[in-house]
Amino acid sequence: MRKAAITAEAAAALVVDGARVMIGGFLGVGSPDRLIDALISRGARGLTIIGNDTAYPTVGVGRLIEAGCVARVEASHIGTNPTTQRLMSDGAIEVELIPQGTLAERIRAGGAGLGGVLTPTGVGTMVAQGKQVIEIDGATFLLEKPMRADFALLRAHEADYCGNLTYRLTAANFNPVMALAADCVIAEPDEIVPAGVIPPDAVRTPGVLVTHLVGRAR
């Protein structure tokens, strides 16, 4: 089905305050900058952000932190963003740190409809607190529950008007798996091309998963 591109402002208006939002990217590479700008401009509040990290204060997800849009972060690290660290220490935002591989697998499980992920990572540490421990063939695993979100905000390299997406380099780390694990998927491509331009074997996210495409301002 052909998808009409919407503006970043219209997309940001769909993301309600208090929503759980997955945002792709790795230290800002592969994060949807126009969507982040639009969320800040509309004064989004109370968001739970799920992503690999919070980048830097002036980059990617870090800009949402600086603007006061975020109430909770679920990420693998916050070490590059002193603002996130300070707000966490002050009790101004909640932070759940999740081992990076576990984070990716929990998101994948949420997208695939699985009941969870068994991992040895965190066994015997504070990560295991409150989690089910399972013994299999003499080995100990934690049951990590699947993760889903209300929205996934993705950065793609190319999209066609059917919503098929490609990614480049580091942008492929979290964007494709997040496309499976949200109720509404909004993709911000660098370029929208006619259907058929993207070779079928280059598609990383099929258009059936994408709810909206964000076009560039004219």
Structure tokens at 200: 């079928």
Please tell me the distance from the alpha carbon of residue 37 to that of residue 79, in angstroms, as a whole number: 23
State both tokens at 158: 């190319």
H-helix segments, the chain: 8-14, 33-42, 61-66, 82-90, 100-112, 175-178
Q: What are phi and psi of 17, to 5 degrees?
A: -60, 140
Our measurement of the distance from residue 33's CA atom to the centroid of its chain's CA atoms, rounded to an integer in Å, reads 13
Q: Could you give all domains of the chain from N- to C-terminal order, each with its CATH number? A: 8-115+146-213 (3.40.1080.10)
Phi, psi at 84, each rounded to 5°: -60, -45
CA–CA distance, 127 with 131 (Å, rounded to integer): 8
Neighbours of 19 (CB within 10 A): 18
What are the structure tokens assigned to 157, written together? Answer: 């390299």
Tokens of 123: 């066994």
Which pLDDT tens digit goes with each residue over 9-66? Answer: 999 999 999 999 999 999 989 999 999 999 999 999 999 999 999 999 999 999 999 9
At residue 4, does pLDDT exceed 80?
no
Q: Which of 73, 148, 139 is nearest to 115 (CA)?
A: 148
Q: Is 208 helix (H, G, I), strand (E, B) or coil?
A: helix
Residues 6, 10, 13, 19: what is their CA dihedral angle, to the nearest 10 degrees? 20
- Read off the pLDDT of residues 162-204 as tens digits, 9 standing for 90 and up: 999 999 988 898 999 999 999 999 999 999 999 999 999 999 9
